[in-house]
Amino acid sequence: MKVLVTGGTSGLGRAMASALAAAGSSVVLTGRSGARAESVAAGLPGAAGVEMDVRDESSVARAVDRAWSRLGGIDMLVNNAGIGMRTVNPGFMTEPQGFWEVPPDAFRAVTDTNLTGYFLVARETTPRMLAAGGGRIVNISINHSTMRRAGFVPYGPSRAGSEALSRVMAADLRGTGVTVNLLLPGGATITGMLPPDVTPEGHGFLMPEVMGPPIVWLASDDAAGVHDERIVAAEFAPWLRDRARRQ
């Protein structure tokens, strides 16, 4: 499997890129810093790093073209690049802001990354997949409760938008050979999006590696044809058992 993982230099993206590479997929991971992307990729078997700013059409076009050439095609896109509330309000966990206190530039920055970024990368990749006869898109999401949590503007709305985008993408691509699915951790996860003063002890946080088993499965032959599913990584094993019973 030839996989492009956006935002693959840290957190969930790095965990998924690592799991995919370990399972034998050829991986290109992206980051705003090309040097950082290359450094992280150097630690993964057969992986490569590419600079991509998901907010910028020309950067996305260049990066997808490089990834396509490097991999010899793209079988799976993992739309993961995003920024969190920490960039808007460093104390969001303990001192939430009302939406009216959020600077418009901060709102735009998060939305441009978390929503428009998913659109731009999928828009650039999908025509190539259609021309190649198929492909898989996995959009990373969050819990519904986080989308409507007090103090979570603009992160909550940006992720709600990306989930709606994913559902529309799935509807548009039904029957084309290109599948679209959602994957989310299923709880607060230890990533760089958490405030620096929040420690994992006693909070029940998930580790980024929770994303490994479901993303590897979504890249497998067993997931061929799986379309428009919303998979919670923390509940993946029982979900998979239930799915097997239904078939």
Residues taking part in catalysis: 155
Q: Is residue 44 within 8 Å of residue 17, measured between CB atoms? A: yes
List CB contacts of 82: < 8 A, sequence separation 6 or more.
7, 113, 114, 117, 140, 158, 159
Distance CA 186, CA 101 (A): 28
Give the three-state DSSP class for 244: helix
Q: Is residue 178 within 8 Å of residue 165, measured between CB atoms? A: no
Distance CA 188, CA 51 (A): 28
CA distances from 90 to 87, 115, 199 (A): 6, 21, 14
User: What are residue 189's DSSP bridge partners?
Assistant: 206
User: Starting at the edge strand that comes first in sequence, how are the strands of the sheet with 26-31 ordered?
Assistant: 48-51, 26-31, 2-5, 76-79, 135-140, 178-184, 230-232
